[in-house]
Amino acid sequence: MSRKHVKRTTHDARRTTNIAVLASGNGSNFEAIVGAIKRGYIKKTCVKLLITDKEKAYVRVRAERLGITQLYINPREYNTGGAFDKKLIQVLKKEKIGLVVLAGYMRILTPVFVKKFKNKVINIHPALLPAFKGARAIGDAYRYGVKITGVTVHFVDECIDHGPIIAQKPLPVKKGESLSGLERRIHRAEHTLYPLVIKKISEGKVKVRNRHVQVG
Amino acid sequence: MSRKHVKRTTHDARRTTNIAVLASGNGSNFEAIVGAIKRGYIKKTCVKLLITDKEKAYVRVRAERLGITQLYINPREYNTGGAFDKKLIQVLKKEKIGLVVLAGYMRILTPVFVKKFKNKVINIHPALLPAFKGARAIGDAYRYGVKITGVTVHFVDECIDHGPIIAQKPLPVKKGESLSGLERRIHRAEHTLYPLVIKKISEGKVKVRNRHVQVG
């Protein structure tokens, strides 16, 4: 069996998982994750750091309130995405981060970053990937007229909204539902699914083989 | 309100719906539909005709057994898709067909045909559209590693696997499931969803407004 085909557990369950959350906006997923750890739903896991690329992101107010260390990295101080991500890697290494959680992070990670943290970066997307990639997924699905949409948590690879899928939750679009009503339900589903996936990863129950993810 | 925005019921529930099924292969959906009518699940509906473009399609054996009139149209006798579809239109008009049901029909309908039968042609697709369009949807979804796939019934428009969605049913991919196991479950879901949609159409409960389909 070639090395390529060996299943890899993404995580060592015996160790505490140090998480960094990367966010650019509101940060409701960030808060859901911190809450799940605080109430003991996710064990042996610590959100060591919130990193944001937006000075005025509301997620910073949440971090302040929740007592989570935060770091604002100003993209203007870096000429290229590569330089920005190099700074990011430096911080993550220093803090011994084992899992990078994207929560509304609006910058595209460079291939160098993604390779360095292969199967250590996860993202949540408000649609059933590969349908409705991109930044306007909920509205796009709504306008398309789908009857079923949902939420996807996936590992991040070099292509946008493309890496191996860890978990998906389907949601029916209700009769006569407004876009904002659908958005609310999608976000609520995110706040359950994301902590569940992080729990499974921290317990060493997530195995990756090429594009196929087994969750124990 | 412009005419474009008026909701249209696709069907007059007072009349009997004459159906033509177009199929190129096995025909298990064809049989599921005929069965649903025979046992009274779908009322005031009649499968008047099976039309196939394949001389040796197994669906013809089923039609024979079920006592449904069948017509084989040999594509070689028509120079173009347009000529073939013209013949099709002629037959459908003559038989007073109100609903054209594609069931594994492997020819692409011409825009002329689709316009003539706007919101009168439906198709079933073994994935949650718009994900995994095309002829290998189940395998494509399986290889992609999705956790949720499903079945879609939609109106046929000028673009492939694209028309307004009438109904979708999500199916989780089970842990360690084989492709053939998934295929079996998808097909079983089709045999329930397709008759349900035809029942709703025949009862006049399906309304279309642009891309949005309301099922009462």
Q: Tell me what pLDDT residue A9 has.
A: 66
Distance CA B120, CA B156 (A): 8
For residue A151, what is the nearest residue in chain B, using CA coordinates?
A: B148
For residue A146, the chain B residues in CB contact (below 8 A) are 128-130, 165, 168
What would the mean pLDDT of A192-210 be, rounded to a whole number? 96
Instruction: Write down how long chain A is.
Output: 216
Distance from CA of B54 to the nearest CA of A (A): 32
C-beta separation of B91 from B71 below 8 A: yes
Closest CA to A91 of A50, A39, A148: A50
> Which candidate in B11, B125, B162, B191 is catalytic?
B125
Statement: residue B9 has pLDDT above 70: no
Whole-number Å distance between alpha carbons of B157 and B137 = 19
The first and second tokens of residue A152, run together, are: 């996807």
pLDDT mean over B171-197: 98
Shortest Cα distance, chain A CAs vs residue B201, angstroms: 17
Return the closest-CA partner of residue B201 out of B130, B92, B101.
B101
Whole-model pTM: value is 0.93
What integer best gives the mean pLDDT of chain A? 94
Q: Which residue of A has its CA nearest to B142?
A: A212
B112: phi then psi, degrees, rounded to nearest 5? -60, -45
Confidence of residue B155 (pLDDT cuts 50, 70, 90): very high
Residues A116-164: pLDDT tens digits?
Answer: 999 999 999 999 999 999 999 999 999 999 999 999 999 999 999 999 9
- Domain B1-117 and domain B123-216, same fold? Reply is yes
Q: Report how far apart the first and last C-alpha atoms of chain B are (Å, whole number).
A: 22
As given in the structure block, the two tokens for residue A91 are 């911080």
Using the structure block, give the residue that is written with the tokens 């929560």: A103
Strands A206-209 and A165-172: unpaired
Sort strands B165-172 and B148-155 into parallel, antiparallel or unpaired.
Answer: antiparallel
Best mutation target among A142, A143, A147 (most B Cβ atoms within 10 Å) is A147
Tell me which amino acid residue A162 is: H
Q: Which of 67-106 (A) contact B at CB < 8 A? A: none
Query: What HEC string does chain A produce?
Result: CCHHHCCEECCCCCCCEEEEEEECCCCHHHHHHHHHHHCCCCCCEEEEEEEECCCCCCHHHHHHHHCCCEEECCHHHCCCHHHHHHHHHHHHHHCCCCEEEECCCCCCCCHHHHHHCCCCEEEEECCCCCCCCCCCHHHHHHHHCCCEEEEEEEECCCCCCCCCEEEEEEEECCCCCCHHHHHHHHHHHHHHHHHHHHHHHHCCCEEEECCEEEEC
B5 is known as an active-site residue: no
- % of chain B residues with pLDDT over 70: 95
Distance in Å, alpha carbon of A9 to nearest chain B alpha carbon? 16
Whether A145 sits inside 8 A of B169 (CB atoms) is no
Record the tokens describing residue A67, joined without a space.
Answer: 């007592």
- One-letter amino acid at B70 equals Q
Report the gap between the CA of A67 and the closest CA in chain B (Å). Answer: 35
**Could you tell me if A144 lies within 8 Å of chain B, comparing CB atoms?**
yes
Q: Is B209 on the interface with A (CB under 8 A)?
A: no
**What are the sequence ranges of the domains in chain A?**
1-117, 123-216
Q: Is B2 a residue whose pLDDT tops 70?
A: no
Which residues in chain B touch residue A131, judged by CB atoms under 8 angstroms apart? 128-131
Count contacts between A and B (CB, < 8 Å): 67
Residue A169 to residue A155: CA distance in whole angstroms: 16
Query: What's the whole-number mean pLDDT along residues B67-83?
Result: 95
How long is chain B?
A: 216
CA–CA min distance A149, chain B (Å): 9
Cβ–Cβ gap A165/B144 under 8 Å? yes
Confirm or reject contact between A150 and chain B (CB < 8 A): yes
Host H or E run for residue B84? helix B81-94
Whether the complex's predicted ipTM surpasses the cut of 0.95: no
Report pLDDT for A3. 46
How far is the C-alpha of A23 from the C-alpha of A14, rounded, in Å? 28
Contacts of A210 in chain B (CB under 8 A): 145
d(Cα A65, Cα A68) in Å, to the nearest integer? 8
* Residues in contact with A36: Cβ distance below 8 Å, sequence separation at least 6, in sequence order: A42, A195, A198, A199
Q: What is the pLDDT of residues A84-102, one digit of tens each?
A: 999 999 999 999 999 999 9
The amino acid at residue A164 is P
Residues of chain A positioned with their CB less than 8 A from the CB of B146: 128-130, 165, 168
Q: CA-nearest residue of chain A to B153?
A: A147
Residue A154 to chain B, least CA–CA distance (Å): 10
Question: What is the pLDDT at residue A61?
Answer: 98
> Tell me, what's the pLDDT at A12?
78
User: Burial level of B206, CB count in 10 A (0-12/13-18/19+)?
Assistant: buried
On whether the CB atoms of residues B163 and B133 are closer than 8 A, the answer is: no
In B, which residues are within 8 Å of A206 by CB distance? none
Tokens read off for A205: 């129950």
CA nearest to B176 within chain A: A214
What integer is the mean pLDDT of B51-77? 97
Question: Looking at residue A13, what is its pLDDT?
Answer: 77
For A211, the closest of B145, B164, B176 (CB atoms) is B145
Q: From CA B83, how far away is CA B81, in angstroms rounded?
A: 5
Range 167-186 of A in CB contact (< 8 A) with B: 167-170, 175-176
Instruction: Say whether B39 sits in a helix, a strand or coil.
Output: coil
CATH superfamily of this structure's domain A123-216:
Formyl transferase, N-terminal domain (3.40.50.170)
- Identify the CATH assignment for A1-117 out of 2.40.50.140, 3.40.50.170, 3.40.50.720, 3.30.960.10: 3.40.50.170
Q: Which two tokens stand for residue A133?
A: 């990639």
Closest C-alpha to B189, from B160, B153, B163 = B153
Exposure of B89 by Cβ count < 10 A (0-12 exposed, 13-18 middle, 19+ buried)? middle
Of B143, B164, B169, the CB nearest to A145: B164
